[in-house]
Structure 1
Amino acid sequence: MKALFKVIARLIVPFFNVSLYQLSDGIDSLVLKLKFIGLKQQANRIMTLSEVIEYQQGVIILLDSVKCLFMLLSLVFFFLANQATFRQYFKKRNA
């Protein structure tokens, strides 16, 4: 039973994966160290790349949210479209 739950969780969880990765702490300390040893150009480039990564992560989060919204809407429409079938099944089962 536990193995079945793991398989189901592994299949369902990615559909609702709205993830956010925080890289700023490690990048900030790296940039400070690079500026301290005189590598300002490399530090500025890393900061620019970090900002691009943060923007892309925002877009990914937005797309994941839209995907989850469409999934939930499709589930609602599925249950609405098959409401009579579900009602008939549970009526037979409870009788």
Structure 2
Amino acid sequence: MKTPHTMLPLRIQAIKRRRLRERVEALEDGAMLGEVNWGQAIEGTLPSTKSTYRIVDKPFKAYLRGLHRLALGLPEQETELERQSRHKVVSQEFRNMLLN
């Protein structure tokens, strides 16, 4: 059975999203096995009397988030409203953790 020409672009997009989902899962598995740092890291020595350390961003988590959004058919970068709602949820979870 052949795919109708009108459905072909939709099928191609679905295949691309499936491949992206598989890639995200493979990268997450590899990161867990390889103990890859997901977010931020501290470079330098702690504690210290001088500020010889700094907090640096590790872009792996942002890269995975972008791939995951592409796999869902969303734009790679989140909108400002999405970012604010995500930060609100994270802040609420952190607040609940501190209170409990």
- Relative contact order higher in (CA < 8 Å, ≥ 6 apart): 1
| TM norm structure 1 | 0.34
| TM norm structure 2 | 0.32
Q: Which has the higher helix share?
A: 1
Q: Which has the higher strand share?
A: 2
